[in-house]
Copies of this chain bind each other. A is one copy, B any other.
Amino acid sequence: MEPQKRPGGRSARVREAVRQATLAELAEHGYAGLTVENVAERSGVHKTTVYRRWGGIEGLISDALELAGEEPWPIPDTGSIAGDLRGVVQLVRSGFADPELGPVSSAFVAAAVQDPAAAKALHDFFAARHEQSAQVVRRAIERGELPDVVDPSEVIRVAVAPVYYRLFVAHEPVSEHDADRAADAALAAARAGVL
C-alpha cells in the first residue's frame, strides 16, 4: 500500500525525502551548517545520489525553494489599505522571527547571495509574492483609497524593504513597531503619488 505510484516511483520518493530532510536540516543548523552528507543521512538516501541529482548544496536549496514557492500566501483583508499593508509587512516580520521558519527563510536569502541558481529561484519566488501581495493595493485603488497611478507591486516592495534591510544588510533587530512604520511610510508615499 504505497502512498501513490502514479506521479513517480522510487525517484519521487527519494526526491520528497531529500526535500524534507533539507528543510529539517536547515531549520536545525541553518544554512552555514547545511551539509550534503547530513541531508543524505537524514533522508536515508545515499550521498552520491544527492550529488548526482542535485549537484550540491545549491541545488538542494533551489529545489526546496521551488517547493516553498508553491505554497499559498495569506493575503490580509482588513477592509482598509492601512491595515492590509501593515498585515503584509507583519507577516514578513513574524515569518523570520519564528524559531522554526525563520532559519529556513534566512537560509534561502543567504544561499541566493552566493549562488546564481538560488538567486534565480529566489527572484521568481519574490516575483510571485509581489504579484500576490499587490492585491491589497489594487483593492485599495478600486475603493478609491489610493490614486490609480500607483504601481501596486512597487508599494509592496517599499513596504517590506526596510524589514529585509534591517535583517540581512544592517543586521539590526526588527520590532513590530518598525514593521508598522515601514508599512505606513509606503502608504504615505503611495498617497502622495510618488510610487
Question: With the chains together, A76 CA to B164 CA distance in Å?
Answer: 26
Chain B residues, CB < 8 A from A161: 158, 161-162, 164-165, 169, 182
CB of A33 to closest CB in B, whole Å: 10
* Choice from B112, B154, B170, B186 contacting A171 with Cβ under 8 Å: B112
Judging by beta carbons under 8 Å apart, are B114 and A31 in contact?
yes
Chain B residues, CB < 8 A from A195: 181, 185
Q: Which of A140-195 contact B (CB under 8 A)?
A: 154, 157-158, 160-162, 164-166, 168-172, 181-182, 184-189, 191-192, 194-195
Judging by beta carbons under 8 Å apart, are A170 and B110 in contact?
no
List chain A positions with a Cβ less than 8 A from chain B.
Answer: 31-32, 106, 109-110, 112-115, 119-120, 122-123, 126-127, 130, 154, 157-158, 160-162, 164-166, 168-172, 181-182, 184-189, 191-192, 194-195
Chain B residues, CB < 8 A from A114: 31-32, 110
CB of A185 to closest CB in B, whole Å: 4
Judging by beta carbons under 8 Å apart, are A126 and B186 in contact?
no
Residue of B nearest to A195 (CB): B185
A32-B114, A113-B113 known; A169 vs B162 contact (CB < 8 Å): no
A114-B32, A181-B195, A188-B189 known; A165 vs B157 contact (CB < 8 Å): yes
